[in-house]
Amino acid sequence: MGSGALSRRCVLLVNTLMSIPEASVIDTPPPSDSYVQSFARGLAVIRAFGPDHPSMTLSEVANRAGLTRAGARRILLTLAQLGYVSMDERRFALTPRILDLGYAYLSGLPLWNLALPYMESVAQATRESCSVSVLDGLDVVYILRLSTHKVMSINLSVGSRLPAWATAMGRVLLAGLDDATLDKVLRESARVAYTPDTVTEIPALKAAIARARREGHACVVRELEPGLQSVAVPIVDRGHRTIAAMNVSCHASRYTPAEMVQAFLPPLREAAAQINQALRHR
- The CATH number that applies at residue 72 is 1.10.10.10
Domain co-membership, 89 together with 223 = no
What confidence score (pLDDT) does residue 20 get? 44
Domain co-membership, 248 together with 134 = yes
In a domain, 2, yes or no: no
Domain co-membership, 136 together with 114 = yes
Average pLDDT (194-204) is: 96
In a domain, 221, yes or no: yes
What confidence score (pLDDT) does residue 52 get? 83
What confidence score (pLDDT) does residue 110 get? 62
What confidence score (pLDDT) does residue 271 get? 95
Domain co-membership, 155 together with 250 = yes
What confidence score (pLDDT) does residue 280 get? 81
Domain co-membership, 152 together with 190 = yes
Q: Is the pLDDT of residue 216 over 80?
A: yes
CATH number, position 134 = 3.30.450.40
Q: Is the pLDDT of residue 163 over 50?
A: yes
Domain co-membership, 273 together with 163 = yes
In a domain, 13, yes or no: no
Domain co-membership, 165 together with 258 = yes
In a domain, 4, yes or no: no
What confidence score (pLDDT) does residue 204 get? 97
Average pLDDT (224-233) is: 94
Q: Is the pLDDT of residue 139 over 70?
A: yes
Average pLDDT (49-78) is: 93
Q: Is the pLDDT of residue 73 over 90?
A: yes
Domain boundary among 46, 68, 98: 98
Of 34-38, 120-124, 204-208, 255-259, which has the strongest mean pLDDT? 204-208
Domain boundary among 65, 98, 131: 98
In a domain, 175, yes or no: yes
Domain co-membership, 162 together with 241 = yes
What confidence score (pLDDT) does residue 114 get? 79
What confidence score (pLDDT) does residue 17 get? 39
Average pLDDT (165-169) is: 97
Domain boundary among 45, 75, 98: 98
Domain co-membership, 134 together with 250 = yes
Tell me the percentage of the chain whose pLDDT exceeds 90: 62
Domain co-membership, 270 together with 226 = yes
Enclosing domain of residue 72: 35-98
Q: What is the 3-state secondary structure (H, E, C) of the chain?
A: CCHHHHHHHHHHHHHHHHCCCCCCCCCCCCCCCCCCHHHHHHHHHHHHCECCECEECHHHHHHHHCCCHHHHHHHHHHHHHHCCEEEECCEEEECHHHHHHHHHHHCCCHHHHHHHHHHHHHHHHHCCEEEEEEEECCEEEEEEEECCCCCCCCCCCCCCEEEHHHCHHHHHHHCCCCHHHHHHHHHHCCCCCCCCCCCCCHHHHHHHHHHHHHHCCEEEECCCCCCEEEEEEEEECCCCCEEEEEEEEEECCCCCHHHHHHHHHHHHHHHHHHHHHHHHCC
What confidence score (pLDDT) does residue 242 get? 95
The structural domain count of the chain equals 2
Domain co-membership, 90 together with 230 = no
Domain co-membership, 59 together with 132 = no
